[in-house]
Amino acid sequence: MSTVAAPDTPGAKRFGDLSGKEVKTVSASMTRFCEQYKRPILPQYRTIVNDLIQSTHLTLVDARFKYDAVFALGLHGIYFRLLKSYPGEGEAQTIFDALTNCLDLESASIASDAESLSTWAKSASEADLVAALKGEGDSQLASIARAAKDDEFYLYSKMWGLGLIQMMEGAGIETTQEKVVELVEYVGFPVAKVKQDLVQYKDVLEKALQAEQLFKEIEIREKKKMAERLEEKAKRALAQAQAADAASLAAQQK
């Protein structure tokens, strides 16, 4: 009985031993999230959380994926920008802890790596960012860029692209399509994907801003209605008290 020889390609040599191995499913990650965070996600945030879990899961199970601080900044930054107004003190952080846990990531490490890179970007110039993406210098980003350049299989992910975009924002660089493409090309990542991620990023932030404004307007209206109800209740109580006083006075005069 003849056997089919494994393809003699760099990819097969690098990842061939993973063939046939069980891969964690999206449903397994979703189930674990629900076990970690037992309360229902508010409807207006449910799609956001589900999409983050599912898209990030698919990145993490790709054999080519390597964790780095740019990925961490992308995930941490987009999550907290979209859920910063989630009701309940500390609730957004609790959900993030459950989200990272279900994906076998460390919430504290993600936050620390994201903060480190974000802080560096805020003090960097465009020239600093370009040099680092070329792999020049001893910055954390330069080390990441060199690792990506040296590995033909280094996986570009949406979160990596979002991390780069957020570094550009921190450094005061306009996030135009042309500028994002220019920067990502220094690392050698696919241009088409980062273009798409930039469009989606701006679109989702715009929708999140609109939703946040709507929630604020609803909250203002509800507070106004409550104030009106309390005022009406106070007027009734005052009227009842005045009526009682009048009745008491009338009884005394008899």
Per-residue pLDDT band at 7 (split at 50, 70, 90): low
On whether residue 70 sits in a domain, the answer given is yes
Q: What is the pLDDT of residues 32-45, one digit of tens each?
A: 999 999 999 999 89
Neighbours of 50 (CB within 10 A): 14
Instruction: Report CA dihedral (121, 126, 129, 132) to the nearest 10 degrees.
Output: -140
On whether residue 11 sits in a domain, the answer given is no
Note the residue count of the chain: 254
On whether residue 35 sits in a domain, the answer given is yes
The total domain count for the chain is: 1
Is the whole-model pTM more than 0.75? yes
Q: What is the pLDDT of residues 172-184, one digit of tens each?
A: 999 999 999 999 9
Per-residue pLDDT at 51 exceeds 90? yes
Enclosing domain of residue 56? 24-211
Per-residue pLDDT at 230 exceeds 90? no
Structure tokens at 90: 């500390």
On whether residue 140 sits in a domain, the answer given is yes
On whether residue 228 sits in a domain, the answer given is no
On whether residue 217 sits in a domain, the answer given is no
Instruction: Give the integer Cα–Cα distance in Å for 116 and 163.
Output: 12
On whether residue 29 sits in a domain, the answer given is yes
On whether residue 238 sits in a domain, the answer given is no
